[in-house]
Structure formats: structure tokens, C-alpha cells
């Protein structure tokens, strides 16, 4: 999953191999996120999920939404989103299990390794990723410090894939 802040970055991430995109632009207004999603969704050859904005995802025809832990519940998002994708970013086994129980299609777990984009968060390590992957039946994506060299390590730990910001720039 390529985590991008703009339509241009999303199209570039697809060229670099991203198979799904998360439009994550926390510093933009809802209207600005909508503008970026409207520019990205129709041109993207892969599914696009919008971070934290069910309204924008629905309005722009995005494939779904990815919710941070501090956001609305997965159950409430599922009510709004219907059959579209609903993912949750998590930092613990408990949060992953709750997300699955509430109807999440996937979870993004991390940071697995130290990450410049989340420098204030303590990394959990590959063992914690493996624990989360064993605890749920839905796909788990690793995030945080993932490099092309570490992707195999994530897969061996049970991750279905990975999400990255820097890797897809």
C-alpha cells in the first residue's frame, strides 16, 4: 500500500509498484482532500482508500477508508461505507482484534521499525507484527520503516503486505 498525500504522488506510487493507495493528508482540509481524491480515484489503476474521511471516500467514489485508532469505530464506518473497504491502523493486538470484530477488512500495524514519518512513536518490532498476524484472520499490513529489503521479513512474520510512505516516493 502506497501512503500518499496527493494525486500526483499516488500516480507515481502506482508506477513504483503500489497495488493499493491510501490518500493520507492530515494537514489538508476536507475540501482539499476531496480535490486530491477526485484527481486520483478516476486515474488510478489500483484501489484508493481515503484516510479518516468516510464522507470524502463516498463522495469521490474511492474504494474505501482507512481509520486511525482515534477515529470513529470500524462498526460505524462499516454502516456508512457498506461493502467498500474499511481498514484500521492499529498499534496493539487488542486494537487489531477489536477492529476485526467490528468488521474491518484489514489492519495496518506499526510502526514495526523506527520511521521518520512517525518519529515520536516507539517501534514495536517484527515479533509484535507476527503476534498481531496470528491474532486475527483479516490481512495485516506492516508499516513503519519498511524497506524493500524488509518486505520479505514482514511476509515471514505473517503480514499480508506492507504500507509505506518513503518506499513509494
CATH number at residue 109: 3.20.20.70
Residues 6-19, mean pLDDT to the nearest whole number = 96
pTM metric for this prediction = 0.95
Confidence of residue 56 (pLDDT cuts 50, 70, 90): very high
- Indicate whether 146 pLDDT > 80: yes
Quote the CA–CA distance of 160 and 153 in Å, as a whole number.
Answer: 11
Percent of the chain with pLDDT over 70: 100
Confidence of residue 116 (pLDDT cuts 50, 70, 90): confident
- Indicate whether 10 pLDDT > 80: yes
Residues 81-87, mean pLDDT to the nearest whole number = 98
Residues 14-40, mean pLDDT to the nearest whole number = 97
* Contact indicator for 148, 115 with CB cutoff of 8 Å: no
- As given in the structure block, the three cell numbers for residue 54 are 468516510
B/e letters for 61-75, b = 16+ CB within 10 Å, e = fewer, are ebbbbbbeeebeebe
Q: Which domain, by its residues, includes 153? A: 2-168
Confidence of residue 131 (pLDDT cuts 50, 70, 90): very high
Closest to 62 (Cα-Cα) out of 49, 44, 76: 49
Residue-level pLDDT at 166: 84
Residues 58-84, mean pLDDT to the nearest whole number = 97
| Tally of structural domains, the chain | 1
What sign does the dihedral 139-107-91-49 (CA atoms) show? positive
Amino acid at each position: 500500500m502506497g501512503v500518499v498525500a496527493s494525486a500526483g504522488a499516488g500516480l507515481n506510487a502506482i508506477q513504483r509498484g503500489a497495488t493499493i493507495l491510501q490518500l493520507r493528508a492530515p494537514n489538508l482540509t476536507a475540501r482539499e482532500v476531496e480535490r486530491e481524491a477526485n484527481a486520483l480515484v478516476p486515474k488510478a489503476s489500483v484501489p484508493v482508500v481515503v484516510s479518516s474521511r468516510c464522507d470524502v471516500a463516498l463522495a469521490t467514489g474511492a474504494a474505501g477508508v482507512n481509520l486511525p485508532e482515534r477515529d470513529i469505530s470500524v462498526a460505524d464506518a462499516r454502516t456508512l461505507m457498506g461493502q467498500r473497504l474499511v481498514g484500521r491502523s492499529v498499534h496493539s493486538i487488542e486494537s487489531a482484534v477489536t477492529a476485526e470484530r467490528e468488521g474491518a477488512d484489514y489492519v495496518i500495524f506499526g510502526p514495526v521499525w523506527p520511521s521518520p514519518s512517525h518519529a515520536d512513536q516507539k517501534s514495536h518490532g517484527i515479533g509484535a507484527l507476527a503476534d498481531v498476524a496470528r491474532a486475527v484472520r483479516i490481512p495485516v499490513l506492516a508499516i513503519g520503516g519498511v524497506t524493500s529489503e524488509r518486505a520479505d521479513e514482514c511476509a515471514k512474520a505473517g503480514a499480508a503486505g506492507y504500507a509505506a510512505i518513503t518506499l513509494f516516493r
